[in-house]
Structure formats: structure tokens, C-alpha cells
């Protein structure tokens, strides 16, 4: 499982860090414990082997049905392996939920910024909100959002939008200038400078853009989140109806 056949007759003290890590995993696995406590067990492995071990550890968990508490700073490991994720910030659990809940319905700006590559975009604006509102005014443009469920006094707010929930449309009054692009093969991430800040959109790879080109921005209204910038917490809305925060 751990691909350490070739070092079984060697002393651990003479092994490289990655091999030591694999030996430590093996010593834990053979005991067949009821619970594994893993603190960044793949941290010293190279990227290729880490990807293999993410899959193998998940399969191991499925086979022996032992509870695993796994600490990692790598969001990709967390999203790929976890049944539930607890996102911690200075010892405080900011959100506890499935990977899908954490990604689609972040409870705080910290969670939204930590999970996702690129992370969620924040477009800041100043306004008040009323329960029942279904739109906000962003840079003088009405933007549809999930129904708001709480009155908010006027203050600094942020509209949160994932890169894949943005598309370019010439008909949109919300405009920005292309700042740069990153080609990823099947798609590309385009950075756009707007009055509300720099945002990144994940769009098809077959479209080309010029630096400085003006583009119109449209968002998927059902997927948008709003945050109170003072507390960092999400504004209650229909997006969060079935989500429990930590």
C-alpha cells in the first residue's frame, strides 16, 4: 500500500523525510485502531505521491471503517478526502459541514477565501438591507441575489461570487477591464478590474482577451452570497436555508 518494499530492511533514522512519513503511516495502519489522528501526514511527500496517497488513505478509510481526524492546511486534501470538514481560524471553528456545503455556502469570509482555487471573489459596497430584498445596488447596477432573511443597518458589505458563477455578457451594465488571464487547458481564469475590486472569472478556454479590454459581467443569482465585512459572517439568505454553521 505504501510502496516501501525496498526500504523494509533499513533503519528509519537513515531514511528521507518522505519515507519516514510512509513508515509512520504503516505503523499506525497495522495496529487497526478504532480512530486515526493524522497531523499533515502527507506534508513531506512530493506532489505526485501525495496525490496517490490521498486516494489510498480514502480507500483505507472505506475498508477499515475507522474514524479519522485529519489535520491539513491543504484545501485540496480536505475536499478530496473528507466526509465532513471543520474549518478553523485561530482555534475557532468557523464552519463545520460537508465539502459541498463548505464550498457552496461559506459561513464566513475566511471560509470563502480559504476554500476554492481561485477563492471566492469579494466585491465590497456600502448599503443597508431589508428582509425580503432580492437585489442589491452594486456600482449603480441592480444585481439579483438570493432573498435576504435579515434586516441590516447601513454598513460595509461584500458580494461573494465564485469564479465559475461569472460569465461575460456585452449586455450587462456591470463592467470591468481585463487585467490578465491564466490558461488552464480546459478553461481559463480571467482577472477583471472593477470599481468593486479585482475579481477572477473561470470561463471557456477558446475565447481570447486583450489586456485592458472592457467586458460586461453577469452572475448566477442563485449562487451569490453576501457578507457583513465588520463581522465577516454571511448575511442570512435563501442560499443558507438548510445550512448549519459551526
Does 181 have pLDDT greater than 60? yes
Q: Which CATH architecture has domain 107-240?
A: Beta Barrel (2.40)
Virtual torsion, Cα 40, 43, 46, 52, nearest 10 deg: 0
Whether the bond into 118 is cis, omega within 30 of 0: yes
Domain 5-83 belongs to what topology? Rossmann fold (3.40.50)
When pLDDT is cut at 50, 70 and 90, the band that residue 246 belongs to is very low
For 8-44, how does the pLDDT look when each residue is reduced to its tens digit (9 = 90+)? 999 998 888 778 878 888 898 888 888 989 998 888 7
Write down the pLDDT at residue 2. 79
* pLDDT value for 41: 85
| pTM of the model as a whole | 0.86
- C-alpha 219/C-alpha 172 separation (Å) is 10
Asked whether the beta carbons of 218 and 144 are under 8 A apart, the reply is no
Q: Where are the domains of the chain?
A: 5-83, 107-240
Please give the Cα distance from 45 to 21 (Å, whole number): 8
Upper half-sphere CA count for residue 226 (Cβ side, 13 Å): 31
Which DSSP letter does residue 8 get? T
Amino acid at each position: 500500500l505504501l510502496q516501501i518494499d525496498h526500504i523494509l530492511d533499513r533503519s528509519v533514522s537513515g531514511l528521507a523525510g518522505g519515507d519516514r512519513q510512509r513508515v509512520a503511516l504503516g505503523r499506525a495502519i497495522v495496529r487497526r485502531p478504532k480512530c486515526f489522528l493524522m497531523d499533515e501526514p502527507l506534508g513531506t511527500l512530493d506532489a505526485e505521491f501525495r496525490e496517490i496517497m490521498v486516494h489510498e488513505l480514502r480507500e483505507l478509510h472505506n475498508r477499515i471503517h475507522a474514524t479519522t481526524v485529519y489535520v491539513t492546511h491543504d484545501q485540496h486534501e480536505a475536499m478530496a478526502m473528507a466526509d465532513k470538514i471543520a474549518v478553523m481560524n485561530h482555534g475557532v471553528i468557523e464552519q463545520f459541514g460537508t465539502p459541498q456545503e463548505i464550498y457552496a455556502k461559506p459561513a464566513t469570509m475566511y471560509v470563502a477565501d480559504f476554500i476554492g482555487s481561485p477563492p471566492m471573489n469579494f466585491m465590497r459596497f456600502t448599503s443597508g438591507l431589508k428582509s425580503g430584498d432580492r437585489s442589491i445596488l452594486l456600482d449603480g447596477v441592480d444585481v439579483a441575489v438570493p432573498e435576504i432573511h435579515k434586516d441590516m443597518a447601513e454598513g460595509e458589505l461584500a458580494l461573494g461570487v465564485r469564479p465559475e458563477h461569472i460569465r461575460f455578457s456585452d449586455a450587462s451594465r456591470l463592467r470591468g477591464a481585463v487585467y490578465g488571464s491564466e490558461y488552464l487547458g480546459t478553461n481559463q481564469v480571467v482577472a477583471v478590474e472593477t470599481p468593486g475590486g479585482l475579481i477572477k472569472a473561470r470561463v471557456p478556454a477558446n475565447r481570447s482577451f486583450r489586456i485592458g479590454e472592457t467586458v460586461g459581467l453577469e452572475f448566477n443569482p442563485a449562487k451569490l452570497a453576501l457578507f457583513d465585512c465588520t463581522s465577516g459572517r454571511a448575511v442570512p439568505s435563501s442560499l443558507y436555508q438548510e445550512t448549519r454553521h459551526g
